Amino acid sequence: MRFTDKSIIVTGAGSGIGRAAALLFAAEGGSVVCADRTEGADETARLIGEAGNKAVAIRVDAGLEEDVVRTVALACERFGGLDVMFANAGISGGMANIFDTDVALITEVLRVNLIGPYLAIKHAAPRIAERGQGAIVLTASVAGIRSGAGSPAYSASKAGVINLAQVSAQQLAGSNVRVNAICPGLTETGMTKPTFDYARGADKMDKLGRLNPLRRGAQPEELAKVALFLASDDASYVNGQAIAVDGGLSSSHPVTRQEYGKTAV
């Protein structure tokens, strides 16, 4: 029960990693504000309530400052303050290359994926600092570490999130507010659902995640558990870090892989 009496905001709580994290935070005693721009936020809050735990839903756009302000205010009013912000909301923006990406699209991806976490830090950190200590966790991506895991717009936005975690950790020195990021690899979420559904329908699940050593994609709970660790006192000396949770994908440069038990060709 690492989050007993803790007030927590999860953005993108309507599905995927956000929903999994919200459920886990609540199961460990946290009072959770489930924020999402879809009705999925209400469903997540309902699931938490049915389990006998505390949650409230709010429909917001994570990239709009007034919505972020409203979300932080709700946490403080309903649960007496704020201890944890999990800025998880994001969009993919498709897979177009640099030359085929419309400026309006990349602007929107940056607004949600990068300005959203910036706003979360700007407005959540002062409230968390008032509690004496706490944590902010951002969802970045392995696409933000190096090329090959996402479109130019998405990858650039997530690289910015990694740097934002580092810069904000430094600028919050002395506040006892830690800031870290998780960097998911291929994970089954609302964003990737079409890919997973196609693979299941075509009996090609063995193809998903085949480039990482674990040879599979992740489930949302596997990412959520790392987010909870970073948000908890178990990670009390972890700050300004970007943790890859990708089955080992980012541990290697492209190579001709040696198959387990076989000789490399």
> Catalytic residue numbers?
154
With CA atoms as reference, report the closest residue to 168 among 181, 179, 176.
179
Say how far apart CA 42 and CA 49 lie, in whole Å: 10
Length of the chain: 265
What does each C-alpha distance from 146 to 29, 59, 87, 158, 185 come to in angstroms? 37, 33, 21, 10, 12
Strands of the chain, DSSP E? 7-11, 31-36, 55-59, 84-87, 134-139, 177-184, 242-245
Tokens 């944890």 belong to which residue? 84
Ordered DSSP codes for 64-75: -HHHHHHHHHHH
Q: How many CA atoms lie within 13 A of 225 on its CB side?
A: 6
Within 10 Å of residue 207's Cβ, how many Cβ atoms?
11
What does each C-alpha distance from 256 to 52, 70, 207, 210, 263 come to in angstroms? 51, 51, 17, 13, 11
